[in-house]
Amino acid sequence: MDSSTEPVYVISVAARLIGVHAQTLRTYEREGLLQPARSRGGVRMYSEADIERLQLIRRFMDDLRVNIAGVDVILRLMERTEELEHQLEEIRVELQRARDKNLPAPRPFDPAGS
């Protein structure tokens, strides 16, 4: 687990960082916009990555006036786009490997041009 996904903030701190009420974060969770980690006692714990996602959600809602359903669609499209970009990069790497394997080795440079 990298440091950005380490759960470190309780809901009250996360809500204060984002500038919303804790109930708003519960609503976002209920609507499936994010899934914070839970402590052994069931306390919601938010990571830096969760905070970044919440800031993005707030920008969509406050600046662009997108409703929760719209935010959900946008986030899913963003995640799918990221997955597809990753798959495309894997395909590019595999294609380059196939080209490297099947192409003849370059001939040494001959300054005389013969």
The full set of domains in the chain, from first to last, is 3-102 (1.10.1660.10)
Q: pLDDT band at residue 96, thresholds of 50, 70 and 90?
A: very high
Contact between residue 44 and residue 11 where contact means Cβ atoms under 8 Å apart: yes
Beta-carbon count within 10 A of 106 CB: 6
At 65, list the tokens: 């006036």
Give tens-digit pLDDT for 44-55. 999 999 999 999
pLDDT for residue 109 = 81
pTM of the shown model: 0.78
Is 23's pLDDT higher than 90? yes
